Structure 1
Amino acid sequence: MTEALSTEMRSDTARAIAAGRRPRRWGAWYVALHRFRVMKSYTGTVVVAGIGNPLVYLYALGLGLATIVDANAGDQALGGVSYLVFVAPALLASAAITVASEEFTYPIMLGYKWNPTFTGMSASPLRPTQIVDGIVISVTIRMLVNLVLFFALIVLFGAAPSAVAVLMVVAGLLGGLAFGTALMAYSSTLEEDTGQLAMVMRFVVLPMTLFSGTFFPLSVFPVWLQWIGWVSPLWHSTELARVFSYGYAEPIWLTVMHVAYLLVLAAAGWVWARRIAVRRLGR
């Protein structure tokens, strides 16, 4: 009897260990799948962000404002391209920043504080680092879908003249992750939301959008404002997207710097967020 019970216990232990191996191996994808199911609850927002907003911005700025700009300044003021072609890559890059701002702020607070699903996940075989990785995977995929839809609209508007213009999507994705992972790390440090995230939207995201060469070249701003663009992931991703979109003329070293800067920011924010997750979730 005792021997049979001992054998059964060993069998149960073996099954438990085997069941834990798969989450340990693919845990980040389990978390990503969970996030996709959560995103279904705000599908309308995802659709509007992916189709509605790009359509409105391209029509209002690319066709409405472009008529005035092109008539008064001419193509030469923007490097030989129309205002629509000039602004389209910036709008695409801004769309990635918008997705990052949505997914790497309040959902992170939700997981840690308001509905502590991250605590429940960490009580399973999942590691805290896998939770962070899964969130990044899910947001990257959502961002990629939005950017592809945005690019399709840009093509329909005739604002993607280059044969490699599709690489704008890569530039936008890099910018979104460079900003988003740092934002995720910051959100992970918050024990209470007393308006910090709202202030990020007002005093970080908004100025970054306005002063990153998004709607006009950065050079038209006073020097004392241009530094906002220089440190902004949005400026770097926008300039990179313009290189791919219509062959925007800039030194090759500057293009390389854009890529390196965005990669370093994305990696640094990701590592920071993982370390905070380990500290907060206790393993």
Structure 2
Amino acid sequence: MTSPATAAHPTLDELRAEATEWARKPRRFGTWYVTEHMVRAMRAYGWTIIVGAVGQPILYLLGLAVGLAALITVPIVDHGQEVTYLMFVAPALLATATISVASEEMTYPVMAGFKWRRYFYGFNASPLSSPQIANGVIIAASARMVVASAAYYLIVWLLPFGAVPHPETGWLAIFAGVFAGLAFGIPLMAYAASIQDDKGQFALVQRFIFMPMFLFSGTFYPLDTLPVWLQWIGWISPLWHGAELGRLATYHSAIAPGMVAVHVGYLLLLCVAGYIWARRNFVERLAK
């Protein structure tokens, strides 16, 4: 029979078991702890996020709907289907917004975690693993992408420009945009994790990868109107694949089922390959 004193004071083995259980908790939920930290860090530039998520789409849409689209009265022929110019560009601009967020959240914050502020090493010194740190960065960036794409979609849907003729499926463009953002951002995060010194690499990415992708990925006109020697930019661009899926959702673009599978498969391939590369870089970098 256990005495009251023994019941009130646990044994050494019980204390060890309890300590082990508490030590396992950070590792069990480590990804979410990192996600929470990254999201909380975004509060430092929270108003920038809000203004960018809401103000930028309004300016783009007003410029296109009131300005450029008013001059382009001839409908756009997309996969043999005639649509207005605004209907055509709106899903591509939504995907562009998420890719822009990915290029912000998966470059300099990753560099800061490894070099400038080195908080990734602090995370790794606790019971958090390197893959959990990488996962937390991805999920936190995804959260901001969801906010940006949802705000963009709501504005496109609510403003009286007729950019979303099928709202019953149009909301799926939010996920198409986030999918495109991840397909661009995860490989970019892997690259950022491999950089030892900032020598303007991210500026080069913006000028020579993001901008050509934005201009030559069927954002403002169908990709097949470009010369063949420029169309390859769209073929390898996650923006074009995400925009095509967004167009399928918003105005039921007549895309062949096989091409839908190609779009989804290509974006998934970029995400998976980028994640494998990023996970390896995080493990190798934090082991030093």
Range into which the TM-score falls when normalised by the shorter chain: over 0.9
Give the conservation status (yes or no) of the 8 Å contact 2:76–2:88.
no
> How do 1:1-283 and structure 2 match up within 5 A?
13-70=16-73, 74-75=74-75, 77-78=77-78, 79-157=81-159, 158-162=162-166, 163-282=168-287
Select between 229-238 and 58-67 the one with higher mean Cα deviation. 58-67
- Write the distance in 2 (CA, Å) between the matches of 1:207 and 1:10: 63
Q: Per the alignment, do residues 164 and 125 of structure 1 end up closer, same or farther by CA in structure 2, a change over 3 Å counting?
A: same
Shift of 1:120: 0.5
Q: Which runs of 5+ in 1 are unaligned?
A: 1-6
- Write the distance in 1 (CA, Å) between the matches of 2:69 and 2:181: 26
- Write the distance in 2 (CA, Å) between the matches of 1:147 and 1:281: 33
- Write the distance in 2 (CA, Å) between the matches of 1:26 and 1:235: 36
Shift of 1:77: 3.9
Shift of 1:45: 1.5
Which one-letter code corresponds to 1:254 in the other structure?
M
Give the match's secondary structure for 2:171.
Answer: helix
Select between 74-83 and 255-264 the one with higher mean Cα deviation. 74-83
What per-residue deviation string (whole Å, max 9, x for no partner) do you get for residues 126-174 of structure 1?
A: 0000000011111111111111111100101231111211111111011
What per-residue deviation string (whole Å, max 9, x for no partner) do you get for residues 247-276 of structure 1?
A: 111211001110111011111111211111
Aligned residue-pair number:
274
- Write the distance in 1 (CA, Å) between the matches of 2:45 and 2:279: 26
- Write the distance in 1 (CA, Å) between the matches of 2:61 and 2:88: 11
Q: Which runs of 5+ in 2 are unaligned?
A: 1-9
Select between 94-103 and 162-171 the one with higher mean Cα deviation. 162-171
TM-score by length of 1: 0.93
- Write the distance in 2 (CA, Å) between the matches of 1:149 and 1:166: 11
TM-score by length of 2: 0.91
Which one-letter code corresponds to 2:148 in the other structure?
N
More helix by share: 1
